Amino acid sequence: MIYVFDGAMGTMLQNAGLKPGECPELLNVEKPEVITNIHEEYIAHGSNIIETNSFGANRIKLSHYGLAERVKELNTAAVKAAKAAAGDKVKIAGSIGSTGKFIKPLGELTFDEAYEVFYEQISALVNAGVDMILIETIIDIQEMRAALLAAKAVTDKPVICQLSFNSDGRTVTGTDPQTAAITLEAMGADIIGANCSLGPAQLLPIIELLAANCSCPISIQPNAGMPHLVEGKTVFPMDAEEMASWVPKLVEAGATYIGGCCGTTPKHIAAIKKAIQLLTPAVRQHRKPMLALTSRSKTVFIDKTLPTVLLGERINPTGRKKLAAEIKEGNFLSVKKEALEQVHAGAHLLDVNMGVAGIDQTKAMSKAITEISQLVDVPLAIDTSDAKALEAGLKAYPGRALINSVSAEPERLDEFLPLAKKYGAAILCLPISPAGVPKTAPERVAVVQTIIDHALAIGMKPNDFLLDALVMTVAADEEACIQTLNTLKLYREKFGYPSTMGLSNISFGLPNRPLINSNFFTMSLAYGLDAPIMNPYDTAMQEALLASSALLGFDKNARHYSLSAANANAPTKAATAPISEMDLLASIKTAVINGEKEAIAPMVEKALAEGHSSTEITDQCLTAAMNEVGIGFGSGKLFLPQVLLSAEAMREAFIKIKELLPLQNFQNKGIVVIATVKGDIHDLGKNIVGALLENNGFHIIDLGKDVELDTIVKAALEHDADIVGLCALMTTTMPQIDFVIDALKKAGSKAKVMVGGAVLTQEYADQAGADCYARDGVVAVNLAKELVEK
């Protein structure tokens, strides 16, 4: 069956007289009949699922109106108004929107705080009697994870997860549809989809990717095209018939829940309903089932049909006194360098272990996972024997992690498996039982079967497992090698799941260990090893992998082997050298690009001591680095978390220069007044732009959100602003941009006007009379520089 949602609530409320700056959810108690009438109109035009008027009814959003203590009341009233219209045949979806804040480290909100905010609102909606929960218009996967966890903790009713994607096919913080689908399905989302930001044409390929990468039903609620400005009013250009013309394509792509977002009305829903009557759900083509791990912005698959995946082992303080001492001091500089350099050396996944005696491992694991996941884009394995540290790491991780490891010991099964299920993690199955370490391959297979049986019994799925073959030292047991190889063989024959293991233990106590290790590695690959845990810096092991991949058919025509040989004979480029080997200025530039904010200040201090001028450091290192970051962001190679981290590193560099050279005359690049316009309480985008501009040398006057026209004009004149930056994220507040621009011109302000926001377009900016339109923060910085130079 294909279900029909309703259309935009905000558009209908605006038509009903809601003014900019008023709280839409307050109407649930002050004018419930208005809300019920809107629901009734959508039902009359074909909706069989209606959404409660509760999109912004969470504690954080309501606090802007002084209504933070009325969460339960307003959400309960929203359900009551919907029930008055729904009857017995129409389902009610409890609408949950964003908090409007980023979760740390991108913002100030903690994961637990976000969880509690969502838990409170979802509890109110469920207790009032909704049929399902709809989490929608979310732009960050970590916020979606917090909301989904809260929903699953509150209810067993279906939970729909809808993200908003940009025109580049990713969310604001860089998550692609494939990664989103895999992450959310693993966590238990019942329906996955997309809404807002884009029209049906732009969302079609996103729906195709979502449908191909999960088995959940797919939902889609596009805008009625991209908004235009017509006679001072925001108009969505797509009429009902044109919207309906996209329905067959959306259904063919896999959607079975279809509705509308901004600009859609009952007429659009009627047209969608008519188009659906002649359609049946598509037969979806899913990807081959295999183990998938995700970061915020990337998915890595592990399977016998795919090339070998390297799991970097270097973030582990065992036997490394310096690293252990730094972690104990709370210094994660070496941890972050190991993360960067392992990825640089070819690691596809990173193992993270914080096993240092005498520390709070829960706190250390949370910090390590938070820092590393913002720094690199590869998925992480959380390596710990402490259940509290494991959960802290799983909370902090914005993706689908690997748990290293779960044995057949009762406490591991009882504590670790529920956490894996709850957070959607995969598990590394380690064949150790209460009886100890099994010596033979059949015994190891039997122990792993026990782990898998327990995992499947609590609802985990076949593609949640990575099997460790367990490597013992051959110096102590002459059967160690052959038993491990036989274990790999039996794993593949009996289970078909991918395998892993640490390699270096095989040679412990023997001379010429690299020779033993590389030969054992080659043999293991032939027996079915899919994801070795190894030191990616080990040249002999990397060479063994290249040769084995060519011989085993994973490297077609030995292409990568040949390219590697050619590169080995080519001159080394400074840009690809390890960070530790670069000259000082190059290291500063690289540190900014990598976002190494802790490392940058000592480097800058050393550069100044060696006679490099502040201008030289600024131009050749800091500015040059941010230019490269901007290029990477524009090409889709870097995403918002990395951009913000680089901006923070640049800021630390400037702080150190000003500290050491207080009399230095730093040129102020310009004064920028920024504000979210009247009636709009969203400021995420504005805050990002402000931070990036400030870190690039601009003086920022941030007026906040929901700012009166007169306040913006007054600030522009008083501060003699070079630029006024205006933000609007709601279709109902877009016309305020026109009013402010007109007022600035009448007041004689010399400031150039830059506009931005999720609902704005270049065409809209042109019609409003803005000097430029910034689609994101990086573009805003470049445009600001151009405007000031002119």
Q: How confident is the model at residue 665 (pLDDT cuts 50, 70, 90)?
A: low
Class of domain 293-565: alpha beta
The answer to which of 38-42, 405-409, 475-479 has the lowest mean pLDDT is 475-479
- Token match 């800091």: residue? 622
Please give the pLDDT value at position 102: 92
Q: Is the pLDDT of residue 128 over 60?
A: yes
Q: Is the pLDDT of residue 545 over 50?
A: yes
Token digits for 283? 């037969």
Q: Where are the alpha helices (DSSP H) in 612-761?
A: 614-617, 624-634, 640-660, 684-695, 709-718, 735-746
* 3-276 fold: TIM Barrel (3.20.20)
Domain with CATH 3.40.50.280 in the chain: 670-789
**Rounded Cα–Cα distance for residues 146 and 744 (Å):** 41
787-790 long-range CB contacts below 8 Å, 24 or more apart? 787/670, 787/722, 787/723, 787/752, 787/754, 788/669, 788/670, 788/722, 788/723
Q: What is the pLDDT of residues 672-708, one digit of tens each?
A: 999 999 887 777 778 878 878 887 788 999 999 889 9
Q: Is the pLDDT of residue 513 over 70?
A: yes
Do 383 and 352 contact (CB within 8 A), yes or no?
Answer: yes
State whether residue 132 is helix, strand or coil: strand
Please give the pLDDT value at position 576: 41
Please give the pLDDT value at position 664: 64
Domain with CATH 1.10.1240.10 in the chain: 574-660
Please give the pLDDT value at position 667: 64
CA atoms within 13 A on the CB side of 516: 16
Tallying the residues shown for the chain, one arrives at 790
Q: How confident is the model at residue 569 (pLDDT cuts 50, 70, 90)?
A: low
Q: Is the pLDDT of residue 232 over 70?
A: no
Which CATH number is associated with domain 670-789? 3.40.50.280
Please give the pLDDT value at position 571: 47
CA 419 to chain centre: 20
Domain with CATH 3.20.20.330 in the chain: 3-276
**Rounded Cα–Cα distance for residues 392 and 461 (Å):** 23
Mean pLDDT of 117-134: 98
Q: How confident is the model at residue 581 (pLDDT cuts 50, 70, 90)?
A: very low
Token digits for 489? 């063989």
- Closest alpha carbon to 96 in 58, 153, 62, 150: 58
Please give the pLDDT value at position 668: 76
Q: Is the pLDDT of residue 471 over 70?
A: yes
Cis preceding linkage at 105, omega within 30: yes
Mean pLDDT of 142-146: 98
Please give the pLDDT value at position 295: 98
- Closest alpha carbon to 203 in 160, 262, 148, 278: 262
Please give the pLDDT value at position 11: 84
Q: Is the pLDDT of residue 394 over 50?
A: yes
Q: What is the pTM of this model?
A: 0.89
Q: What percent of the chain has pLDDT over 90?
A: 74
Q: How confident is the model at residue 496 (pLDDT cuts 50, 70, 90)?
A: very high
Q: Is the pLDDT of residue 433 over 90?
A: yes
Q: How confident is the model at residue 575 (pLDDT cuts 50, 70, 90)?
A: very low
Please give the pLDDT value at position 572: 40
* 574-660 fold: 1.10.1240
249-252 long-range CB contacts below 8 Å, 24 or more apart? 249/200, 249/204, 250/200, 250/203, 250/204, 250/207, 250/220, 251/2, 251/276, 251/279, 251/281, 251/282, 252/282
Do 776 and 757 contact (CB within 8 A), yes or no?
Answer: no
157 or 628: which carries more pLDDT confidence? 157
**Rounded Cα–Cα distance for residues 440 and 445 (Å):** 9
**Rounded Cα–Cα distance for residues 544 and 525 (Å):** 10
Q: What is the pLDDT of residues 737-760, one digit of tens each?
A: 989 999 999 999 999 999 998 778
The answer to which of 13-17, 401-405, 729-733 has the lowest mean pLDDT is 729-733
Please give the pLDDT value at position 577: 44
Mean pLDDT of 102-119: 95
Q: Where are the alpha helices (DSSP H) in 596-637?
A: 597-609, 614-617, 624-634
Question: What does the mean pLDDT of the chain come to?
Answer: 92
Nearest 5 degrees, angle CA 690-CA 694-CA 700?
65
Q: What is the pLDDT of residues 57-103, one digit of tens each?
A: 999 999 999 999 999 999 999 999 999 999 888 999 999 999 999 99
